[in-house]
Amino acid sequence: MLEPKASRPHWPDALQNPPKDLSGLKPWHWALERLEKSHNYWIATTRPDGRPHLMVVWGIWWRGAFWFSTGPRTRKARNIAADPHVVIGTEKADEAVILEGTAEEIKDRAVWKQLAQIYNAKYGGDVEPILMASDGCIFRVTPQIAFGQDEHAENFADAATRWQF
């Protein structure tokens, strides 16, 4: 996967005159580290009536996408079936990475098996027997745009970064 292009986000209330150069922007590896190491992730979906739904999930960053599992009757799975656009956020708001993308259900059990091994290494336990015997769903979220914000950066506003895929 090619590295996404970094730029400054549109932030009219904080960056009326954004710097022309790209110094201060976070590199993609900064975002990847947080996507890979976060334990909990926020997922925002949209109900069929347009109301938002926010929930916490466990997941992994793998093959240039975010992957998670859930039951087919959960609100988030039903929302994704109606509208695949989702937002994923890492757990630490002071070093936030936010992905906007589309979720696709993955039904290939061979992929599930690979995913279970990676999931087990991250979270411990053995999810493979549960996953393979269940009627659960696995989703891959393909990112379209991502944002990063590091409160610990020397210049908070200049460190806000947008990555386009």
Does 19 reside within a domain? no
153 vs 55: CA distance, rounded Å: 28
Q: Is 83 a member of any domain?
A: yes
Q: Residue 69 is part of which domain span?
A: 25-106+135-152
Q: State residue 2's pLDDT score.
A: 76
Q: What is the tally of structural domains in the chain? A: 1
Asked whether residue 124 is assigned to any structural domain, the reply reads no
- Does 20 map to a domain? no
pLDDT of residue 22: 67
pLDDT for 17? 63
Rounded to whole angstroms, the Cα distance separating 21 from 8 reads 10
119 belongs to a structural domain:
no
**pLDDT tens, position by position, 11-55:** 766 656 655 666 778 999 999 999 999 999 999 999 999 999 999
* Backbone torsions φ then ψ of 150, nearest 5 degrees: -115, 105
Residue 91 is assigned to a structural domain of this protein: yes
| DSSP 8-state assignment for residue 48 | T
Helix segments in 17-159, DSSP class H: 28-37, 75-82, 109-123, 128-133
Q: What is the CATH number of the domain that holds 39?
A: 2.30.110.10
* pLDDT tens track for 105-164: 999 989 988 998 999 999 998 777 666 666 779 999 999 999 999 988 877 666 789 999
Q: Is residue 111 part of a domain?
A: no
Closest CA to 102 of 88, 90, 86: 86
Give a yes or no: residue 29 inside a domain. Answer: yes
pTM, entire model: 0.89
